[in-house]
Amino acid sequence: MICGVDEAGKGSVLGPMVVAAVGARSEDIFSDMNVKDSKLLSPKERERLAAIIRKRCRVATVILDAQAIDAVRKEMTMNECVARAHAEVINKIAPDIAYVDACDVNPSRYAEMVKNHLDSSCEVVSEHHADQTFKVVSAASIIAKVTRDREIKNLSKQFGDIGSGYPADPVTIAFLSAYIKSHNDPPSIARKSWKTVSAMLVTKAQSSLTEFF
């Protein structure tokens, strides 16, 4: 059994991070599927492929919401948080070999970080851009992206248009800024430990002080 692991939403300021693992006996199972890095596929194609992957392979996911990420970051770095989540989905699949997209500048060091959280012996192959090298990681990338997109869609139903949730998205920043201006606090779906949020809170506090002068 091999498995591929990837995540979506690591750098997002709003919404969850989703980590996914896809297990298979061989990458041959993807021979008739156009699996690739999820960012290179349309939303419709990702949805189509995700349905096939779930039918053919073992799939495991872990969803960490904003509050959980803030809590974990008090104890460890974001890379360590991702490594622990990668190990969690690998444990659910229990493969012989796990291919992971390295979240550290040093792939070998990242492999050891993941191994430290595994329940049983498993070879961990850690590479940068693994979602472009291994089809099984591409499959995990697709599952993670589709799952997170659904989570963001549900949050948008509750909070209004929040965009993609990433700091580079003007819609996300506009939503976050307006929410903080209106409520004097970030929404529950915001990662308060992110500099994007703390900077907005400082700006809000400064603008409030000027009202007294």
If asked whether residues 39 and 128 sit together in one domain, one would say yes
Helix (H) or strand (E) holding 62: strand 58-64
Residue 79 belongs to a domain: yes
Q: Which residues pair with 4 in a beta bridge?
A: 22, 99
Residue 210 belongs to a domain: no
Q: With the CA atoms of 44, 49, 55 and 57 taken in that order, what torsion angle do they form, in degrees rounded to the nearest 10? A: -140
Residue ending a domain, among 135, 156, 177, is 156
If asked whether residues 100 and 193 sit together in one domain, one would say no
Render pLDDT for 176-209 as a digit per residue (tens, 0 to 9): 999 999 998 999 999 999 998 988 888 776 665 4
If asked whether residues 100 and 111 sit together in one domain, one would say yes
Position 90, amino acid: I
Asked if residues 16 and 27 have their Cβ atoms less than 8 Å apart, the reply is no
Q: Which residues of the chain have pLDDT under 50?
A: 209, 212-213
pLDDT (0 to 100) of residue 212: 45
Render pLDDT for 60-78 as a digit per residue (tens, 0 to 9): 999 999 999 999 999 999 9
If asked whether residues 103 and 36 sit together in one domain, one would say yes
Nearest-angstrom CA–CA distance, 80 and 88: 12
Residue 213 belongs to a domain: no
Q: How many domains does the chain have?
A: 2
If asked whether residues 69 and 133 sit together in one domain, one would say yes
If asked whether residues 55 and 150 sit together in one domain, one would say yes
pLDDT (0 to 100) of residue 206: 63
pLDDT (0 to 100) of residue 92: 97
If asked whether residues 101 and 126 sit together in one domain, one would say yes
If asked whether residues 144 and 195 sit together in one domain, one would say no
If asked whether residues 144 and 79 sit together in one domain, one would say yes
- Give the structural domain span for 183: 157-205
CATH code, 64 = 3.30.420.10
Asked if residues 4 and 136 have their Cβ atoms less than 8 Å apart, the reply is yes
If asked whether residues 69 and 42 sit together in one domain, one would say yes
Nearest-angstrom CA–CA distance, 96 and 73: 30
If asked whether residues 87 and 184 sit together in one domain, one would say no
pTM of the model: 0.92
Residue 211 belongs to a domain: no
Helices (H), the chain: 43-56, 66-72, 78-93, 107-115, 130-133, 135-159, 170-183, 195-210
Residue 195 belongs to a domain: yes
Asked if residues 90 and 119 have their Cβ atoms less than 8 Å apart, the reply is no
pLDDT (0 to 100) of residue 11: 93
Residue 107 belongs to a domain: yes
**3-class DSSP state of 63:** strand
If asked whether residues 115 and 171 sit together in one domain, one would say no
Question: Whose CA is closest to 4, among 106, 69, 90, 77?
Answer: 90
